[in-house]
Amino acid sequence: MDEERDKRILLAHGGGGRLMGSLIATKILPRFANATLGQLADAAAVKVGDTSVLFTTDSFVVKPLFFHGGDIGKLAVCGTVNDLAVAGARPVALSLALIIEEGFEMALLEKILDSAAEAAREAGVEIVAGDTKVVERGAADGIFINTAGIGTRIADLSMKHIEAGDAIIINGAIGDHGMAIMSQRKGIEFDSPIQSDCAALSPLTCAILEGTDGVRFMRDATRGGVAAVLNEIAAGARHDIELVETQLPVNAAVQAAADMLGFDVLDIANEGKVIIVVSQASAAAVLETCRAHALGRQAAVIGRVLEAADDEAIVEMATVIGGRRVVQMPYGRELPRIC
């Protein structure tokens, strides 16, 4: 396995876990080394003259292209907007590049583009540039989308601002997107189909950043889920994190699907959830702001930041049965092609 991993790219290298981190650290960063890229932030601060903007890019290869709660067009816009939003920006403009497979139905393309346009309008951003390529039949699984986005900074957020005692908030139930995708692939039927949480977070994040103080850091919990984000925060901030299982918001159908398929809900991808690290003094105000917004009705304080007990910071969860378990960084890709 190690020999194969060293010689070829695996699906697990794109899963948001340890293998992906290793690929970036050992193969990509050394070839493009600079201080900005090395921060591995959701969006990079770029100075244009006297103006500082935040810039990000992303690609979308989700399968299936249409799922309960969204499609690849909506996902591409929301995912790019969210990378800007959680970096402390107000998103302004996006590019949208299409790689379309020969034979793809024109009606499906129109549906995807209409969905992307609607998502952009709702997020208050414009699609200002793009590109279109057509590849041979079988080379693109229908359609892939690449995006880039820029936004104006409204807050300086960084892991270096995180302190022991800070509260950790999430704006709602976890695992909806990953389980929506997987349940459709597996043909699992529920009384109410699991809906993806795909949404543009910028209206919520801007309300938080402009209406409250004490926000240290934010990150959307996409590939690798909450487990990956919290492990990244622990390592970057060099602080332990305590998670409380009884405070985690999880929809019953998502938990049932995860149990049926053998997944840990902490590892499952989201597309409309943001982890917010905030000072203890401001936690109540941030929670109130979240719950007053449609995207934050189920918001909850799910844990806190602690002083690191050892040289290597960890994420530990206080479980329902009164025990404790270490929440590890996911290894690879348990749910392929979720975004």
Question: Rounded to whole angstroms, how far apart are CA atoms 95 and 87?
Answer: 18
CATH value at residue 56: 3.30.1330.10
**pLDDT score for 132:** 98
* Whether residue 143 is found in the same domain as residue 168: no
Show which of 121, 137, 153 is a domain's final residue: 153
pTM given for the model:
0.93
The token pair that represents 252 in the structure block: 């019953």
Give the pairing type, strands 126-135 and 89-101.
parallel
Alpha helices, DSSP H, located in 42-105? 72-86
Residue 3 falls within a domain, yes or no? Answer: no
- Residue 27, in any domain of the structure: no
Task: Tell me the C-alpha distance between 15 and 339, whole Å.
Answer: 10
Report the pLDDT value the prediction gives residue 222, as an integer from 0 to 100.
Answer: 95
Residues 6+ apart with CB under 8 A from 195: 68, 69, 176, 180
State whether 115 and 53 are in the same domain.
yes
What whole-number distance in Å separates Cα of residue 240 and Cα of residue 309?
7
DSSP 143: E
Q: Do 188 and 58 fall within a single domain?
A: no
Residue with tokens 């793009």: 130
> Does 250 share its domain with 289?
yes
Residue 294: inside a domain, yes or no? yes
Same domain, 119 and 144: yes
In a domain, 12, yes or no: no
Domain boundaries, position 247: 159-326
Range 23-35 average pLDDT: 85
| Residue 168: exposure state from Cβ atoms within 10 A (0-12, 13-18, ≥19) | buried
The reply to whether 178 and 132 lie within a common domain is: no
Same domain, 127 and 201: no
Check residue 37 and give its pLDDT.
76
pLDDT at 17: 77
Domain boundary among 153, 188, 214: 153
Radius of gyration of the chain, Cα coordinates, nearest whole angstrom: 19
Query: What is the band of 4 on the pLDDT scale with cuts at 50, 70, 90?
Result: low
Q: How far is CA 247 from the centre of its chain?
A: 20
Residue 223 lies in a domain: yes
Mean pLDDT of 74-82: 98
Within a domain: residue 22?
no
Q: Do residues 319 and 243 both lie within one domain?
A: yes
Q: Give the pLDDT confidence score for residue 40 in this predicted structure.
A: 77
Kindly provide the residue ranges of all beta strands, DSSP E only, lying in the chain, ordered along the sequence: 44-48, 51-60, 66-67, 70-71, 89-101, 126-135, 143-153, 167-170, 215-220, 239-244, 274-278, 300-307, 315-318, 324-326
28 lies in some domain: no
* Res 50: pLDDT: 81
Sequence-separated (6 or more) residues with CB below 8 Å from residue 177: 69, 196, 197, 198, 268, 269, 270, 271, 272, 338, 339
Q: At residue 38, does pLDDT exceed 90?
A: no
Q: Which of 122, 153, 184 is the last residue of a domain?
A: 153
| pLDDT recorded at residue 310 | 87
Across the range 137-151, mean pLDDT stands at: 96
Mean pLDDT of 35-48: 82
**Which pLDDT does position 254 carry in this prediction?**
94
Q: What is the identity of the amino acid at 317?
A: M
Nearest to 329 by CA among 225, 227, 254, 216: 227
Q: Is the same domain home to 181 and 322? A: yes
Look up residue 24 and give its two tokens.
């970036």
Number of independent structural domains in the chain: 2
Does residue 132 sit in the same domain as residue 204?
A: no
Q: Diameter of the chain by CA atoms? A: 58
Shared domain for 238 and 319, answered yes or no, is yes
Q: Are residues 120 and 190 in the same domain?
A: no
Q: How confident is the model at residue 248 (pLDDT cuts 50, 70, 90)?
A: very high
pLDDT in tens, 179-232: 999 888 877 777 677 999 999 999 999 999 999 999 999 999 999 999 999 999
Provide the residue count of the chain.
Answer: 339
For residue 184, what pLDDT is reported?
A: 87
Instruction: Enumerate the β-bridge partners of residue 150.
Output: 55, 93
Residue 247 binned pLDDT confidence (cut-offs 50, 70, 90): very high
Q: Which residue in the block uniquely carries the two structure tokens 């529920």?
A: 190
Domain with 215 in it: what CATH number?
3.90.650.10
Mean pLDDT of 160-179: 97
**Helix (H), strand (E) at residue 113:** helix 106-123
Q: Is residue 335 part of a domain?
A: no
Burial class (CB in 10 A: 0-12, 13-18, 19+), 213: exposed
Q: What is the mean pLDDT of the chain?
A: 93
Closest CA to 175 of 74, 228, 251: 251
Tokens standing for residue 194: 């699991």
